[in-house]
């Protein structure tokens, strides 16, 4: 999954021959998982049709403040478009439009939307060689970059005039890659390696039966996704779970038992900057596993159990530079038990949730947590979607690692 997945991308198209490439650009954005809307200058429709772009983006294409062909025209609100966008990319960006952007000229819907946008703005210049090298254009680039806009440099190649040189709009694949890398480079966890555990473990009784719990893995998967969306490289070690994730920055390792999770975690812990252990690992396992299915001969069955290895405690003992986070699911004396666990296992943070809280715990899409740090600071949160809980957790982690 691309870092652009789930983003609202507004593509502005101006009147240059490179506009024909925007069909490919829209497809790449959609393929990356982004939601795409297109706004065109009126003259750009001479180079590519709105029908093509609306079909590929699965959204209406905007080019004027009102739709003249409609018997009951509605106003195309440039403010709403600007606020909708997480990213605004103007490609191709002609010399004419760039100059207007630099000097606040607002004579079409695209420019009005640009002046209303609150999101990062990228522009990919496209023009002939002499235009690209002209001092006035260089000055325009400087003004726009000083405004905080990000320039995707033109490349060298054959131009529409027949000349060879700079001015050719970057290829669609390179535009998408440039934006992805620029976003990643500015994220707070860029370069960090994060280890996350999720889900239950299953401890075999015989080849058919096991001891397990009701953990779905939802919380751990949301933590992994939040970490990746903040730029981290993530190792997600999960017990049996129906949850799935596809992200270029997440490597998923699937295990079954507490022993296999212990081994996988220790394989990756040394190289981790942050470890977040949200898995509901079994505390006990059968001492002896039957090689054949146990037959139902008696009215009762006794199974001798033994303790599993405490993964979190073992990491606390090995901790050098790692920021270590544990989870505590409690049913009584919640705060005291969580604080004891925090201290005993040498954690930086512990995330407490109680089965006594409605909407918290296993299988729910929501959770209600309290985060406690090793300086005895306690922060309570309301019931939230688990994706929001994951974001709250990283807000606390980032605050502490940058303190």
Active site residues: 213
Tokens of 225: 């996704």
Whether the Cβ atoms of residue 248 and residue 270 lie closer than 8 Å to each other: no
Task: Name, in order, each residue with C-beta under 8 angstroms of 336's C-beta and a sequence gap of 6 or more.
Answer: none
Task: Name, in order, each residue with C-beta under 8 angstroms of 340's C-beta and a sequence gap of 6 or more.
Answer: none
Cis, bond preceding 92 (omega within 30 deg of 0): yes
CA distance 373 to 339: 9
The pairing of beta strand 150-151 with beta strand 121-125: parallel
Alpha helices, DSSP H, located in 147-200: 172-185
- ∠ CA 54-57-60 to the nearest 5 degrees? 40
Q: Is 295 exposed, middle or buried (0-12, 13-18, 19+ CB in 10 A)?
A: exposed
Name which of 364, 59, 28, 93 is nearest 214 in CA terms. Answer: 364
Name which of 189, 188, 180 is nearest 152 in CA terms. Answer: 180
CA distance 317 to 183: 36
Q: How far is CA 317 from CA 62, 265, 348, in A?
A: 60, 14, 13
CA distance 55 to 48: 12
């Amino acid at each position: 999954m691309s870092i652009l997945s789930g983003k609202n991308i507004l593509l502005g198209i101006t009147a240059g021959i490179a506009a024909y490439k925007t069909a490919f650009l829209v497809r790449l954005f959609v393929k990356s998982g982004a939601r795409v809307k297109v706004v065109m200058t009126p003259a750009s429709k001479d180079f590519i049709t709105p029908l093509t772009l609306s079909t590929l983006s699965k959204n209406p294409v905007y080019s004027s403040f009102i739709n003249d062909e409609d018997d009951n025209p509605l106003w195309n609100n440039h403010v709403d478009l600007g606020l909708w966008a997480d990213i605004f990319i103007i490609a191709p960006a002609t010399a004419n439009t760039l100059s207007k952007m630099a000097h606040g000229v607002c004579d079409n819907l695209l420019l009005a939307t640009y002046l209303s946008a609150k999101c990062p703005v990228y522009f990919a210049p496209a023009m002939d060689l002499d235009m690209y090298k002209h001092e006035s254009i260089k000055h325009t680039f400087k003004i726009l970059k000083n405004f905080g806009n990000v320039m995707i440099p033109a490349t060298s190649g054959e131009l529409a005039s027949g000349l060879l040189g700079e001015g050719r709009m970057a290829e669609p694949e390179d535009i998408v890659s440039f934006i992805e890398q620029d976003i990643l480079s500015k994220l707070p966890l860029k370069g960090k390696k994060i280890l996350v555990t999720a889900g239950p473990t299953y401890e075999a009784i015989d080849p058919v039966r096991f001891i397990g719990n009701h953990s779905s893995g939802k919380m751990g998967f949301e933590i992994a996704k939040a970490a990746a969306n903040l730029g981290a490289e993530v190792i997600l070690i999960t017990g049996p779970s129906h949850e799935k994730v596809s992200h270029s920055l997440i490597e998923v390792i699937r295990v079954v038992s507490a022993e296999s999770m212990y081994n996988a975690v220790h394989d990756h812990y040394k190289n981790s900057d942050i470890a977040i252990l949200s898995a509901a690992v079994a505390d006990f396992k059968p001492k002896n596993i039957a090689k054949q299915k146990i037959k139902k001969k008696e009215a009762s069955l006794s199974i001798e159990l033994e303790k599993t290895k405490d993964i979190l405690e073992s990491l606390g003992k090995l901790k050098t530079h790692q920021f270590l986070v544990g989870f505590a699911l409690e049913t009584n004396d919640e705060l005291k038990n969580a604080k004891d666990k925090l201290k005993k296992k040498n954690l930086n943070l512990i995330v407490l949730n109680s089965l006594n809280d409605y909407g918290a715990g296993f299988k729910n899409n929501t959770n209600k947590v309290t985060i406690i740090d090793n300086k005895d600071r306690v922060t309570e949160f309301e019931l939230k979607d688990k994706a929001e809980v994951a974001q709250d957790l990283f807000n606390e982690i980032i605050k502490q690692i940058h303190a």
